[in-house]
Structure 1
Amino acid sequence: MQIYNKYVAIRRYKKLAQCGNVNIPYGTECAVVNSHITCDKGTICFVASQDAFDYFSQNDDGNGLERGRLTQAIIKCLELKEYDTTYQERWDKVWADPVCQKYKRSDFADHWLWNYEFYNAPLFDLQYIAKLVGAK
């Protein structure tokens, strides 16, 4: 797991963090110290935590906002919605695709969970996956 130096808030983070209550607006750049995303108040969360996946995106290459938009769009597209007749078809594509396979957590053989690398993937891989599943 490569640890990146810069992250950006891909949506407002207004909640209790490790350093206390914080209100971090969309687009705010954050640093990484000892594998934790930090702000001026202190430590927010671990880089591989669910809060990191939901609210922040790796931004060392300056593409953090787009990376975050794509990961969130892919996840949203793959959610089961009421009267969704193509849900299983979308997931079948993901399970069968070699690009997607490298972003599956290996510790769950019969259930798909995106791994840390998915949230830090190159834009071309995320664009490919988004197109594969029909994410907007």
Structure 2
Amino acid sequence: MAKLLTEMAADIAAAQASHSTMSGEEIGEFLKKTFRALKSLKELEDTGASSEQASDNIFESQGKLDPRRSIRRNKVICLICGKEFKQLTSRHLKDHGLSLKEYRKKYGFSARESLAAKTLTNRRKKRARESGLGEMLKKARKSRKKG
């Protein structure tokens, strides 16, 4: 007898939770996301769509994630495919046919906003302050104007 989508989603979530530490909230979110992906695949399978079309559009067709919520404490979620990273890179976005500038424009991020996890951004800020990077930059700009 074929498994129900909820059973398959639960099995996938259980397997994922056994390999990585996840909070209850993350498990619930992962379960919902997995169920939606399985449901989309089932619908595409029933209509006879190709697997390439399915993999390209599955995450976008799901209940879209708010762009502001895609940048989290320890990860950034790609709004196109749903993969999780410490930082979204131009190399990854190139696979989707976008540049960093186009991605920011498409999802409403400002040009100065970092597409990196909050902890990574905070760590970089702390190092810059400790090394006096801001003061060195001010001095360099002053000397450039004088020269």
TM-score range, shorter chain: under 0.3
Larger RCO (alpha carbons 8 Å, 6+ apart)? 1
TM (norm. structure 1) is: 0.26
1 or 2, which has the higher helix percentage?
Answer: 2
Larger radius of gyration, structure 1 or 2? 2
TM (norm. structure 2) is: 0.24
